Structure 1
Amino acid sequence: MILKAVAATALLTSISAAAAVADTDGFVIWQNFIAFENRHAGAAVEKAGYRLDSNGTARTIPMQAMRSETASPIVDALFALAQVEADGAKTKALTDGAYNHGKPIACDCFVTGVKWPFVWTRDSAYSIDLGLAWLDPARSRRTLDFKLSDVREASAQQGLYVVQDTGSGGSWPISTDRVAWFLGARRLLDDKAFADKTYKALKDTLAQDKQYVFDAQFGLYRGETSFLDWREQTYPVWTEKNVRFIAESFALSTNVLHYEALRLAATMAQARNDAAAAQYRNEADALRAAIDHRFWREDRGLYMSYIGPADGPQTIEAYDLLGTSLAILADIPAPDRARKALANYPTWPAGSPVIWPEHRDAAIYHNRAIWPFVSAYALRAARKLDDGKRIAHELLSILRGAALSGSNYENYELVSGAVHVEDGKWSGPVVNSPRQLWSIAAMLDAVVQGVFGVDGDKIEPKIPAELVPMLFGTRNEIRLHLADRDIVLVKPAHFDQDNLLVAGETERKGKNVRVQLRSAEATPMALRFNSVQFAPDTPEIIPTAPKIADGSHAPVRFWLDGKPVQTWKPGSDQALKSVEIADTGALQSLWTTRVDPTSQLESLPGPIVRLGQFDDVGGAWPRTWTPTRDGRYQLRLGYENPHGPINTGVTAAVKTLAIDCGGEAKQSAPLVMPHTVAKDLSTAAAFTAKAGKKCTFTLEQGFNMSFLSRNRLYTGEQGGEKGPVNDADYGTLRIVPLP
């Protein structure tokens, strides 16, 4: 180890004077040496490969079959390192303490990371979409196939479904981003058997999500943000103990994934002469319009990460880079709005945070962090928009993180770019793993598509002129050697500093492709530095006597059904004794936020308090109740679900409530009952009734992830090897008129 450190120091000393060009943000664009936040990295070409020093620790990286040849040994070494680490992620057997009692499970596939030697749906899907599909298509198919399952219970709804992994409140349908699977699968459809299986899973999974997750009133799919699945990290802190808010909310990223799945379904159905193609296309078009309308926040020029339940807050100060990038890549916004959304998303010198604003009351993980795979999607979005500044920024962020840490780590602290920062109980990233699969894929994509512009059969480079010194140096051309092609990019003789270098004349001879770059004007879009980092703390109110509970000095705003009704300013003469609300008899929803008086940033919402004239209906099933007035009603079912912890498992209770109100058409709605830490109420169902006409309520079997055959191997909690569990301890039905 001492010898390695000495060698590393010598390496740094020998290359520290190499061509380094300072950029406008004060850090360094480099060829073979970088310095950032008192850390250094360097690389050099050796006879058999590369030597990479990462802040005093050196390693030799063997030359790989696929390689880049640029003026930057760091770029070339990191591309080789990604391939070495991808090889390290290959396995014949998976292990996880929550499956098969920790014993190996046969699977010739990719594992998620050094600390995650298993296959997880979203990690694998994003990784395959970003780069593993072309690196090892056969293994990628096997990896995805491991996350498909039929149903082990004959009485349950049959089909071939994508597995939603263990998660918040007992998994699906609190977490609903399993359709990310199809982002990866769409890259691998040249295999007919796999394509047919994909189409079957696509039809069945979309049908199931439409039944249990789709909200016809909003035109959106409910459920948690994709990948941002550590509740209190990104949702209000009180969701740590109650995830019903998450189950009833709508997430930008998860809805974009459903949109992409519907578009793929339409394409695959049309290719198979399936009449369902038109329906899928219509549903996709409607969903696209709903996403653009519901999530766009005009006063911020950003897409919100999520919005609340139908009777909750629809304007939330929460934004995330993955959702924004996926929306842009899916053509959800018109071009002008897309450019505005990316330009307005804040960034820091080390890179772009996966969420903004950050939260003081949460540790570093998703909060206050850069995740390279998300940066890779932001890089793709920037390329789509010809945003040269953002292309350079996200590309350098991906490269810098791996260079300084010596591996493709999962995440980095936002300000320092380090793999760990001490900050008391907020230290983190709380969990971090080297050789993380989607970070490996991000590096592959950063070089193959980010630098050379290769995406499938297309070669469309978009190199910011500011990166030419790093990538070309004194060279006239750079090269990429892939398994099926050798690509050469030739530098133009003249270009302006604000321009992009794009493909001009392209010559193809066999597997050799030669692209003459040309200078293209691009509309400059400045990066948004110097944003306020933290949101105000989330307030809490006590329903019986509203008051401020956390001692913050930011003003508190009270919201009633989405409209502000009162603001209380600490230290003022105004005494907060009560918030007066007229009793209409119908449902009213009250919550609070804090507002920073300087930045005007708003906190996440406090707990929702629901007011109205409620009827409680108990007894044996079926239960009956007679309304006293015509109209729409909301109901929730009291329950406790003790079948797993609040943060994991596969046993969220999911039932269908059949509603028969005499004279009305029969109605039904799903009721979701996540794992609980105390008595709670289910998700809401709305129905129509007439005064004096008795309504009968019947609770019918639904579906959860414990019904999947794949979860026979789940041994971490209930719902696994001993059979499906889809139940709860039921209380009364709580019914209230809707306005």
Structure 2
Amino acid sequence: MLSVAMMAALAAGVQGDTWRDDIAWRGAQAHMSTTSDGHFTLTGPFGKRDIAVQRMRAETASPMFDGLFAMAQDELAQDSVTAINDPAFDHGQPIPCTCFVTGVKWPYVWTRDLSYSIDLGLWKFDPQRARNGLNFKLSDVRDPARQQGLYVMQDTGSGGSWPISTDRVAWFLGAQHLLDDKAFADNVYRALNDTLTQDRQYAFDADMGLYRGETSFLDWREQTYPAWTADNVVFIAQSFALSTNVLHYQSLQLASRLAKAHGDSAKVKRYEEQAAALKAAINAHFWRKDRGMYMSYIDGDGTPYDTYDLLGTALAITSGVAEGEAAHIALANYPTWPAGSPVIWPERADQPVYHNRAIWPFVSAYALRAARVVNDPARIAHELRSIMRGAAIAGSNMENYELATQSTHVDEGKLSGPVVDSPRQLWSVAAYLDMVSEGVFGLAPDGWIEPKLPVSLVPMLFGERDSISLTMPDRTITLRRPHALQGDLLVADTTKQHGTETVVTLKVIDVSVIPLRTEAPLYAPAAPDAPSIEKDNRGWRVEADGKVVLYADGQRVGRIDGSTYIAQGAQPPCVSVTRVDEHGIESLHSPTVCGGEPVAIGDGWPRSWTAPVSGRYRITLRYENNHGPINTGVTAAVKMLVAHCGDTTPQRVPIVMPHSMGEQSSTYGVITANAGAVCRFELEQGFNMSDLSHFAHYTGGKGGSEGPLNDARIGDLIIMPAAGAP
């Protein structure tokens, strides 16, 4: 629990500072001065920055708050360009695009960065530029002989991109705000139908009811996934991520709304049913009751991982996937530090600072939104101050900060970082703008004014003033404080309209204040080596290195010391182990090992096999895909394995073969077969990002300007019994 002193410090700022002209932090100080005509000057460790008059203006008791709002607008103007470039596209030559760039070090348009930025309010500030950028990330299919469609692009990434990474549907978070343009809205609806259909075909697991793929934005695998994924990302392709599934849920909801607008009742019903089922599956599989938190990701067989991320948690709350008490508890149990909230928890002791041990302002903005949903004044104030402090001390809306110091760089040898940190990062700029317009003044996406201001922020924002205001090109919002401040949260009491000015008189309400969680340990323990498993006359003997927690076929067996037996069941088990530290925090899992002897079938296609007993069987391919490095590219090999078992309906299993370092196993699928049934397997061509016309401009690797490439050297077909009833 927080001490009284710590609660006071977090509520009022460092050392009780009201943060009007100055912010002091760990020996550094930033100062904001202003002139009568609206110019600001920010000085700090970075030097001096002059900020010109901007078209939008915040007027509060804090020149620091107001000046940083002006600085965010200035940086948005600098991020507004007419051409973009990246070394991996068109050989680095300028590409015309009247759109937003991602930041100083990222002068290109990336799907997730742009989409989250637009959702964080950029659609209000420059809708046409926002639409242009989103349109840039849509593509049709290169080969006219292939099935056509309009698709959102998954950028270059882990193992050769989609469907190892599947968070391209974040695009619809931004697009949903810009549907007043009919041509754009028509593209959104078409892309929504085509993209969701494709993801359903290649990334959806009917047994789990979830979409496979990497955590959204947390795409540097060594930082957040087990160390053994550094050279093999098949686990990531097979796994399920909270954030990516919530994004699919939101996309399905949008699809239902747009189908209704188009009068397509069949699609409305289908999308509504899929969204409801997905919401139920997310809550069933990701909620970890013993932690009171939503896990960041789980294994392909449902094995729980004791790891959490703030973006996934916040999106679960703001989307409505997390409801009621679960939403309150999930946010309250997510740990924070005096400088702000980490994007992952627990941290990795062997990794440098980037996603690991870091604060990302755009994620803090989503956490602030989540705190508004659950009426958590302590969290609202904490995330707001974190966003402000970072921008003030750094002199720019930086990409990220180290967790403990909120510095843009700490020197710790091989653990130094942040490894990359760009000024005026677009989604960090959007985070500050959103923190002001929605986080303080309550301007919701639907145009309603719904302020939820912690009483602890009154000294900074109001001082001795009776009101504060936000002036935008088309409207002014004025908030009037009440005379008495007994309570926790300021909300709207009365709202009056005077021309283009909306005047909201606030009132104070009491809410159930949950203290910020600041006592959590920083690091998780290191993962153990893989166990061994052998069968003898007593069953399946599992041996591990010391005291570990054993998991089998997606379920927690319990703690063991060195070895144990798993009772002999109908199918050989697949097992992994974790370590637990003195705080009860589990490590990430060891690699999984399976008992039994798999059947290997080779020599061309089609291939045949006779099922020895009735049951479920796991199917995978041995393969080699050397078409790109592990961390990037667009040439993940994607196929559809079709199993004809007896006279039953053919079973279709997507197989993903990411970029590899030598031969390894692909993702697996599960089929059912009756005893004695002869199964004939065929392999059909699938789809990958290199099939999209946009990637004809890709010059950073294979599958680009030289043409689509969706291929791998395929070896044996591996069949082994799978857990679960047929």
Indicate the TM-score class for this superposition, using the shorter chain for normalisation: over 0.9
Q: Does 1:50 align with 2:40?
A: yes
Query: Aligned in 2, Cα 1:77/1:491: closer, same or farther, shift over 3 Å?
Result: same
Q: Does structure 2 retain, via aligned residues, the 8 Å contact 1:613–1:737?
A: no
Cα distance, 1:580 vs structure 2: 4.9
Contact 1:584 / 1:612 at 8 angstroms: preserved in 2?
Answer: no
Matched, 1:490 2:480: yes
Matches within 5 A, 1:181-200: 181-200=171-190
Aligned to 2:591, the other structure's residue is in SS state coil
- Percent identity over the alignment is 55
Amino acid at match of 2:213: G
- Alignment match, 1:556: 548
The answer on 1:33 being equivalent to 2:22 is yes
Describe the superposition over 1:287-337 as per-residue Cα deviations: whole angstroms up to 9, x where unpaired.
111111110011100000011112xx5221110100000000011122111
Q: Is 1:89–2:85 an aligned residue pair?
A: no
- Mapping 1:140-155, distance limit 5 Å: 140-155=130-145
Q: Give the match's secondary structure for 2:465.
A: coil
- The residue aligned with 1:540 is 529
In the TM superposition, what are the counterparts of 1:301-340 in structure 2 within 5 Å?
301-310=292-301, 314-340=303-329
* Cα gap change, 1:537 to 1:547, in 2 (>3 Å): farther
Q: Residue 70 of structure 2: which of 80, 102, 107 is its match?
A: 80
Provide the residue aligned with 1:105 in structure 2.
Answer: 95
* Deviation for aligned residue 1:629: 1.4
Secondary structure of the 1:530 match is: coil
Superposition deviation, residue 666 in structure 1:
1.2
User: What secondary structure does 2:507 align onto?
Assistant: strand
Equivalent residues in 2 for 1:328-367 (5 A)? 328-367=317-356
CA contact under 8 A between 2:618 and 2:721: conserved in structure 1?
yes
Deviation at 1:146, TM superposition (A): 0.3
Distance 2:324 2:304 in 1: 23
Aligned partner of 1:394 among 362, 383, 387: 383
* Separation in structure 2 between the aligned mates of residue 385 and residue 534 of structure 1, nearest angstrom: 28
Q: Which whole-Å CA distance do the structure 1 matches of 2:694 and 2:43 have between them?
A: 43
Q: Secondary structure at the match of 2:437?
A: helix
Matched, 1:121 2:106: no
Q: Does 1:672 align with 2:652?
A: no
TM-score normalised per structure 1? 0.93
Instruction: Measure how far apart 1:737 and its partner are.
Output: 1.7
1:717 has 2:701 as partner? yes
Paired residues of 2:14 and 2:24 also in contact (CA < 8 A): no
Q: Determine the structure 1 residue equivalent to 2:53.
A: 63
User: Which among 200, 210, 224 is matched to residue 200 of structure 2?
Assistant: 210
CA–CA separation in structure 2 for the residues paired with 1:219 and 1:585: 25
Q: Does 1:589 align with 2:580?
A: no
Residue equivalent to 1:572: none
SS at match of 1:106: strand
Q: Kindly provide the CA deviation profile for residues 488-532 of structure 1, in whole angstroms up to 9, marking residues without a partner as x.
A: 111111111x42111111110221111111112221111001210
Could you give the per-residue CA deviations for residues 558-602 of structure 1, whole angstroms, max 9, x where no partner exists?
322244557566xxxxxx4x6555665734211110100x20100
1:444-483 equivalent positions in 2, closer than 5 A? 444-456=433-445, 457-483=447-473
Deviation at 1:203, TM superposition (A): 0.3
Task: Choose the corresponding residue for 1:685, options 665, 669, 676.
Answer: 669
Q: Which amino acid aligns with 2:153?
A: V
CA distance in 2: counterparts of 1:526 and 1:707, whole angstroms: 50
Q: What is the CA distance between 1:371 and its match in structure 2?
A: 0.3
Residues 175-324 of structure 1: matches in 2 within 5 Å? 175-275=165-265, 276-310=267-301, 314-324=303-313
The answer to whether the Cα contact below 8 Å between 1:22 and 1:29 also exists between their aligned partners in 2 is no
Contact 1:626 1:695 in 2 (8 A): yes
The question of whether the paired residues in 2 share the 8 Å contact of 1:460 and 1:503 is answered with: yes
1:512 aligns with 2:501: yes
- Following TM superposition, the consecutive aligned residue runs of length 4 or more in structure 1 with deviations greater than 6 angstroms are 544-549
Work out the CA distance in 1 between the residues paired with 2:483 and 2:455. 12
Instruction: Tell me the alpha carbon deviations over residues 11-30 of structure 1, each in whole angstroms, 9 at most, x when there is no partner.
Output: xxxxxxxxx99838756441
What's the C-alpha RMSD, in Å, of the aligned pairs? 1.7
CA distance in 1, matches of 2:569, 2:253: 44
CA deviation digits over 1:143-175, x for unaligned, max 9?
000000000012323100000000000000000
- Give SS of 1:391's match: helix
Change in Cα spacing, 1:317 to 1:21, as seen in structure 2 (3 Å) is closer
- SS at structure 2 position matched to 1:112: coil
Secondary structure in structure 1 of the residue aligned to 2:413 = coil
For 1:429, the equivalent position in structure 2 comes to: 418
SS at the partner of 2:617?
strand
Specify the code of the residue in structure 2 equivalent to 1:621. Answer: W
Q: Runs of 5+ in structure 1 lacking a partner?
A: 1-19, 570-575
The Cα shift of 1:91 comes to 1.2
2:180 alignment partner, SS class? coil
CA drift of 1:634 comes to 1.0
SS at match of 2:237: helix
| Unaligned runs of at least 5 residues, structure 2 | 1-8, 535-541
Distance 1:104 1:132 in 2: 24
Q: TM-score, normalised by structure 2?
A: 0.95
2:557 and 2:382 map into 1 onto residues whose CA distance is 42
Question: 1:586 and 1:516 mapped to 2: Cα distance?
Answer: 66
